[in-house]
Amino acid sequence: MGEDLLEVRDLRTYIYTRRGVVKAVDGATFSVQRGETLGIVGESGSGKSMTCLSILRLVPEPGGKIVGGDIVFDGQSLLAKSPEEMRQLRGSRIAMILQDPMASLNPAMTVGEQIAETLWLHRGLRGRALDQRVLELLRQVRISDPERRVHAYPHQMSGGIRQRVAGAIAISCQPSLLIADEPTTSLDVTIQAQYLRLLKEIQRETNLALVFVTHDLAIVAKLCDRVAVMYAGGVVEMGKTRDIFNEPRHPYTIGLLNCLPTLRRGREPLTAIDGQPPDLAAVPPGCSFAPRCPIAEPRCVEARPALEPIAQGHLVACLRAEDTSKPNGRVVSLSSMANPARDDLDGGGDVVLEARALTKHFPLARGTIFARAAGTVKAVDGVDFVLRHGETLGLVGESGCGKTTAARLVLSLERPTAGGVLFRGRDIHSLDRDETNEYRRAVQAVFQDPYGSLNPRLTIRTTVGEPLTQNQPGLTRAEIDERIAGSLTRVGLRPRIADDYPHELSGGQRQRVAIARAPTTDPECILLDEAVSALDVSIRAQVMNLLREIQDRLGVSYLFIAHDLAVVKYVSTRIGVMYLGKLVETAPANELYANPLHPYTQVLLNNALPSHPDDVREEVILRGEVPSAFNPPAGCRFHPRCPQALPVCSEAEPVLQEHAPGHHVACHLYGS
């Protein structure tokens, strides 16, 4: 610490398009010291990723250009280097991990070949030395059985393992600076905790400087030494992590922190930031945040404020920074919803959906022409739950536990092997054609990958309006357009995007389109499978408040699947915890978080990311990886990894039974 490895000075990166000049980065200034972790946070479109690409001189072409400022790495200006010199630096001294490992890994090359390629190019390794270094790197990123995995292809690995492979490639040449752009977005809570711990261990071993780009402030609280908050292409606040969380001084930073759902807070509406980020092709004069700021004054729109120190190491670009110094750093509420929190549900509503001994086994075949059975993957193995009118059932668990398969069974996209799903008391596979159409209207879904569920050939207007034209044929074109504009506005989108196609929107925008479409049929139940995981905190707060508003207004029920436990707690009235195809614990949301009984639930909560540096807790490290659903362990499926396992746990499978009113657990620690 103490020596600046990277200095970004008044960086300006513009993209020249047909509709004007997009000021993607507009005067960003920050530095990173050796061995330090700098977190860069902000909403989508704030310039985070483009800043990182500018550091690597990978500005998109044609049209993209660094037009001002300087980037100094280890005392040398990167903007003065030739393309060949930059190629030598990338991967060797400056490395980057992207959000989607499948976008950076070659599907036609084995993992070993891709790691070896970097070492061969930059370090000249050959033969046995190269092979040994590849295996060493796989072990360093905690990939088990590296001798086997080195011959695997990316598609044969889970998302968490692929992300570790991308990390192994990034650190293979022992760079001085590592840039990680949203590398944990798609990881569940335990894999995310392992990955963040791995980054810190590598950093301690190599004195690596780390720039961690994220929209998740909880990760910043746990991982970063300092934070730079970006808005509209510039840094608006920068300081030590504890100072930013304890005494935020820019209204935008305060707004981001107020957006966070936490494990400690109740289900009161979140405080979202009013309005939307500015169009970077038409940034307003003066302070770019002024149109959304609750304490803006006329002078705020006259001149752009400079990034100036207000305390040692704490810089803010705000003319009213002195006025935001309040207890706990919280200024005025930026907005609030008027709907009351729904903590009074007593479980007495009518049953909308019910799963009875729901089971889905996938047979595995060996051979191609004369295929024969080779075993069974027990994806969902005897799950029971009830979803009542106006309530939200949250499902949590690691990747591969069966959450999404259960969702597909509910949507009748898969037929159960045994058991079934009942809608209004009738098995959904016994419904006639008209009743099936009614079920399709009454049960809607929002998936994790919106691009996979939005028709690329249809405009957003057609996609959102399609349910209206089918279910309410009496509406005029003007009424439909008004409803479409209202739906888009409620999820934080400008109505003018209605004539765009899905590929013209960002991932977060596409997800909001999918959410806007779901309520248009007045459904009784909406299934949300990781529907808010890709959204930044301000939009996520708006969408979560919107979901609560829709539920309060229409009485719709939600089956909510997510890996963010704070989000699940905020949205859900009851929660079910799944592990390897089975429910191991169910309880009212507040009860589960206050008194988790199953050791697996306790581990999930203990590894949940904090929303404040003071909330950081010692993690419980699970032994081994999630066992295969192809050959689950005998007895309790969690016992090989359980820190409290008893001898009986390996012999008999525990039954889900009531331990307290409404609180069920399947664990031998609580009786037979």
pLDDT reported for residue 290: 93
The pLDDT value recorded for residue 330 is: 44
Question: In the predicted model, what is the mean pLDDT of the chain?
Answer: 84
pLDDT of 335 above 50: no
Question: What pLDDT sits at residue 342?
Answer: 41
pLDDT of 19 > 90? The answer is no
Q: Parallel, antiparallel, or unpaired for β 443-446 and 525-529?
A: parallel
Q: 555 pLDDT band (50/70/90 cuts)?
A: confident
Q: How sure is the predictor about 350, in pLDDT bands with cuts at 50, 70 and 90?
A: confident
- pLDDT band for 264, please (50, 70, 90 cuts): low
CA 158 to each of CA 71, 563, 670: distance values in angstroms, whole numbers, following the listed order? 36, 16, 34
User: Has residue 345 got a pLDDT over 60?
Assistant: no
Question: Omega into 62 within 30° of 0, i.e. cis?
Answer: yes
* pLDDT beyond 70 at 267: no
pLDDT at position 53 over 80: yes
Task: Give the model's pLDDT for residue 159.
Answer: 66
3 state DSSP class of 164 = helix
Report the run of H or E that residue 140 belongs to, with start and end. helix 127-140
| Contact indicator for 664, 585 with CB cutoff of 8 Å | yes
Higher pLDDT, 626 or 251: 251
DSSP 542-572: HHHHHHHHHHHHH--EEEEE-S-HHHHHHH-
| Residue 313 phi, psi (nearest 5) | 80, 5
Q: Which residues of 386-410 are buried (b: 16+ CB within 10 A; e: fewer)?
A: bbbebbbbbbbbbbbbbbbbbbbbb
pLDDT band, residue 266 (cuts 50/70/90): low
Alpha helix positions (H), 260-366: none
pLDDT value at residue 338 = 32
pLDDT of residue 333: 39
Using alpha carbons, select from 573, 448, 451, 446 the residue that is nearest to residue 521. Answer: 446
pLDDT tens track for 482-502: 989 988 887 778 888 899 888
Could you tell me the pLDDT band of residue 384, with boundaries at 50, 70 and 90? very high
- Residue-by-residue DSSP string for 571-590: H-SEEEEEETTEEEEEEEHH
Cα dihedral 134, 137, 143, 149 in deg (nearest 10): -10
Q: Which CATH number fits domain 4-93+176-329: 3.40.50.300, 3.30.70.120, 3.40.33.10, 1.10.3720.10?
A: 3.40.50.300
The Cα angle at residue 35 between residues 32 and 36, in degrees rounded to 5: 45
Q: Phi first, then psi: what are they for 7, rounded to 5°?
A: -130, 125
Q: What torsion, rounded to 10 degrees, do the Cα atoms 74, 79, 83, 86 define?
A: 20
Give the mean pLDDT of 194-215: 86
Looking at residues 438-467, what average pLDDT do you find? 86
Q: pLDDT at residue 336 above 50?
A: no
Confidence tier at 114 by pLDDT (50, 70, 90)? very high
- Determine contact, residues 534/507, Cβ cutoff 8 Å: yes
Out of 3.40.50.300, 3.90.226.10, 3.40.50.720, 3.60.10.10, select the CATH number for domain 351-451+487-494+517-670: 3.40.50.300
103 and 179 in contact (C-beta within 8 Å)?
A: no
Residues in the chain: 672
Q: Which tokens belong to 483?
A: 């409803």
Angle (nearest 5°) at CA 598 between 596 and 603: 75
**327 pLDDT more than 70:** no
**Rg (alpha carbons) of the chain, rounded to whole number:** 26
Q: What pLDDT, on the 0 to 100 scale, is given for residue 609?
A: 58
Q: What are the residue ranges spanned by the domains of the chain?
A: 4-93+176-329, 105-172, 351-451+487-494+517-670
The mean per-residue pLDDT over the stretch 456-484 comes to 88
User: Residue 427 class from Cβ within 10 Å (0-12 exposed, 13-18 middle, 19+ buried)?
Assistant: middle
Residue 366 confidence (pLDDT):
55
* Whether 34 contacts 176, CB under 8 Å: yes
As a dihedral over the C-alpha atoms of residue 283, residue 287, residue 288, residue 293, rounded to 10 degrees, the angle is -140
Q: Do domains 4-93+176-329 and 351-451+487-494+517-670 have the same CATH topology?
A: yes
Q: In this predicted model, what pLDDT tens digit does every residue of 584-611 receive, in sequence order? A: 999 999 899 889 999 999 888 887 655 5
Measured distance between the N- and C-terminal CA atoms of the chain, rounded to whole angstroms: 55
What's the pLDDT at 265? 60
What was the pLDDT predicted at 672? 55
Q: What pLDDT was estimated at residue 402? A: 85
Alpha-carbon gap, residue 158 to 607, rounded angstroms: 20
- pTM for this entry: 0.76
Question: DSSP for 495-514?
Answer: GGGGGS-GGGS-HHHHHHHH
Highest mean pLDDT among 189-198, 438-447, 467-476: 438-447
**Which SS3 state, helix, strand or coil, does residue 171 take?**
helix
141-154: pLDDT as tens digits: 878 788 888 998 88
Instruction: Write the pLDDT tens digit of every residue in 639-664.
Output: 998 988 899 999 999 999 999 999 99
pLDDT at 158: 67
Phi, psi of 423 (to 5 degrees): -115, 120
What is the structure's pLDDT at 334?
Answer: 34
Asked whether residue 433 carries a pLDDT value surpassing 50, the answer given is yes
Token digits of residue 400: 């591969």
The whole-number pLDDT of residue 469 equals 84
For position 263, what pLDDT does the model report? 66
